[in-house]
Chain A
Amino acid sequence: AQKITQTQPGMFVQEKEAVTLDCTYDTSDPSYGLFWYKQPSSGEMIFLIYQGSYDQQNATEGRYSLNFQKARKSANLVISASQLGDSAMYFCAMREGIGGGNKLTFGTGTQLKVEL
């Protein structure tokens, strides 16, 4: 079974609008972390936001917020007030367990295109 599922291969959004990128996960470990990364065409991986499994509140970082629904095992990324520079590939990832050596498992990504 896929540990991280991103069902939207591509998304379009108009500039200044909000967009939600979907991510569902699968784990039996009670301790885990969820991450979102942005990958522009240059290839670098840019960290956006993090949500821990025990965090009571949804994470927010500027225009990014994470809609964490633990019972549904979903961790959707919401980008508010989209900008042209937001056009990129977005990856959801999960780390199972707590520890610096635990690897990240990535979803297949969503290609976001912001239009005028």
Chain B
Amino acid sequence: GAVVSQHPSWVICKSGTSVKIECRSLDFQATTMFWYRQFPKQSLMLMATSNEGSKATYEQGVEKDKFLINHASLTLSTLTVTSAHPEDSSFYICSARDRDSRGDTEAFFGQGTRLTVV
């Protein structure tokens, strides 16, 4: 299957700092990327849908000013957690859809980023 690379795989940052997470589609172009958050032993919760060249669509309850999403190219979307606090500690994972795929095919996931805010 197609490859989605997410970086970094883990990060520890101090409270109040910002952290950027990258999601890259390595062998396909992705017009749409999704960002999810997962707390321990819980399900994936969609945070936002990122469309290339336009503003991201955030799910209800997700602060757009805190979780900045940029999708400047067909192969890269970034999630920046601004002014991070300990409650932002979580597992963040992205997925991407192949622009040329049929509508009913899978979304490919990155490896995920484990964020710890201390």
Contacts and interface: CB of A to CB of B under 8 A. Distances in A.
Contact of A43 (B1, B93, B97): B93
Contact of B97 (A50, A101, A106): A101
A104 B103 contact: no
Given A100-B97, A106-B44, A108-B42, A43 B112 contact: yes
B49 A101 contact: yes
Contact of B43 (A50, A100, A106): A106
B44 A91 contact: yes
Interface residues of A, number: 25
Interface residues of B, number: 29
Nearest to B38: A43
A74 B105 CA distance: 19
A81 interface: no
A77 to B, nearest CB: 15
Interface in A98-116: 98-109
Contacts of B32: 100-101
B46 interface: yes
A44 interface: yes
A95 B103 CA distance: 10
B44 A47 contact: no
B109 A50 contact: no
Given A43-B91, A47-B1, A52-B104, A104 B46 contact: yes
B95 to A, nearest CB: 7
A35 B42 CA distance: 18
B29 to A, nearest CB: 11
Contacts of A109: 42-43
Interface of A: 33, 35, 37, 42-47, 50, 52, 91, 95, 98-109
Closest 6 CB pairs of A and B: A45-B109, A43-B112, A98-B103, A100-B97, A101-B32, A47-B106
Interface of B: 1, 31-32, 34, 42-46, 49, 51, 91, 93, 95, 97-99, 101, 103-112, 114
